[in-house]
Amino acid sequence: MLLRSGAILREAWRRGIGMAGKSSKGGGGKTTKKKKKELTNGRVQYTMRLVESSTCAVCKTPCKRGMDYLEKMSEPGAMGHGVPCILTRRPVK
C-alpha cells in the first residue's frame, strides 16, 4: 500500500497537482517571457555605486561631491553611508 501511494504522489507531482487538487505551478505548464517595462517618459535611468571616503581619497579623477564627502568624513566621530560615484554611472537595463 505504501508503494502504491508513493506512485500516486509521484504521478500527482508530475502533473503539477498539489494538495487539494490545485495546481502548484500556477501557469498551466506554459512559460511566457516577461516583457520589459518601458519608461513612460522615455528617459534613460542610471545607477551609480556607493563608495566610501577611502575610495574617494585614492580616486584618479576627484569630483566635487567626493571631495566634499572626504572632507566631511575626515572630522573625528563622523559617520556616513557613502556617496554615489559619478564615474560608476551605468544605464539601467
Give the integer Cα–Cα distance in Å for 65 and 87: 12
Kindly report the pTM of this predicted structure. 0.53
pLDDT values of the chain reduced to their tens digit, one per residue, 93 residues: 455 667 777 777 777 765 555 555 555 567 788 877 665 678 899 999 999 999 999 999 999 999 999 999 999 999 999 999 999 999 998
Burial of 91 (C-beta count, 10 Å sphere; 0-12/13-18/19+): exposed
